[in-house]
A and B are shown apart, each in its own frame.
Chain A
Amino acid sequence: MFIDRLVNQTNAPLVERVVKFAAARHRLIAENIANVDTPGYRQKDLSTAKFYSLLSDKVREKKASAPGATTFDDIDLNVDHPTASILFHDGNNRSMEQLTAEQAKNGMLYMTAIELLKKQYGAMEMALKERIA
Chain B
Amino acid sequence: MFGTLDISASALAAQRVRMDTVAANVANMNTTRDADGRVAPYRRRFVVFAAGQGARGPDAGKPGVHVQEVALDQTTPFNKKYDPGHQDAGADGYVRLPNVNMATEMVNAIEASRAYEANVTTMEVTKAMMNATLRLLA
Chain B stretch 37-53: residues in CB contact (< 8 A) with chain A: 48-51
- State the main secondary structure of chain B at its contact with A: helix
Which residues of B are found within 8 Å of A100, using beta-carbon distances? Answer: 118, 121
Residue in contact with B64 in the complex, picked from A26, A31, A104, CB distance below 8 Å: A31
Chain A stretch 86-133: residues in CB contact (< 8 A) with chain B: 96, 99-100, 103-104, 107, 110-111, 114-115, 117-118, 121
Which residues of A are found within 8 Å of B129, using beta-carbon distances? Answer: 22-23, 26, 107, 110-111, 114
**A52 interface contact, C-beta 8 A:** no
B8 touches A30 (CB 8 A): yes
Which residues of B are found within 8 Å of A111, using beta-carbon distances? Answer: 128-129, 132
Q: Provided the pairs A23-B129, A26-B4 are in contact, do residues A34 and B136 lie with their beta carbons within 8 angstroms?
A: no
Residue in contact with B8 in the complex, picked from A34, A114, A121, CB distance below 8 Å: A34
**A61 interface contact, C-beta 8 A:** no
Cα distance, A38 to B49, chains bound together (Å): 5
Per-residue A-contact encoding for B1-27, CB less than 8 Å = 1, 0 else: 101100110110011001000000000
B7 touches A34 (CB 8 A): yes
Which residues of A are found within 8 Å of B10, using beta-carbon distances? Answer: 34
**Chain B min CB distance to A32 (Å):** 10
Chain B stretch 80-138: residues in CB contact (< 8 A) with chain A: 111, 115, 118-119, 121-122, 125-126, 128-129, 132-133, 135-136
Q: Which residue of chain B has its CB nearest to the CB of A121?
A: B136
Which residues of A are found within 8 Å of B135, using beta-carbon distances? Answer: 114, 118
**A8 interface contact, C-beta 8 A:** no
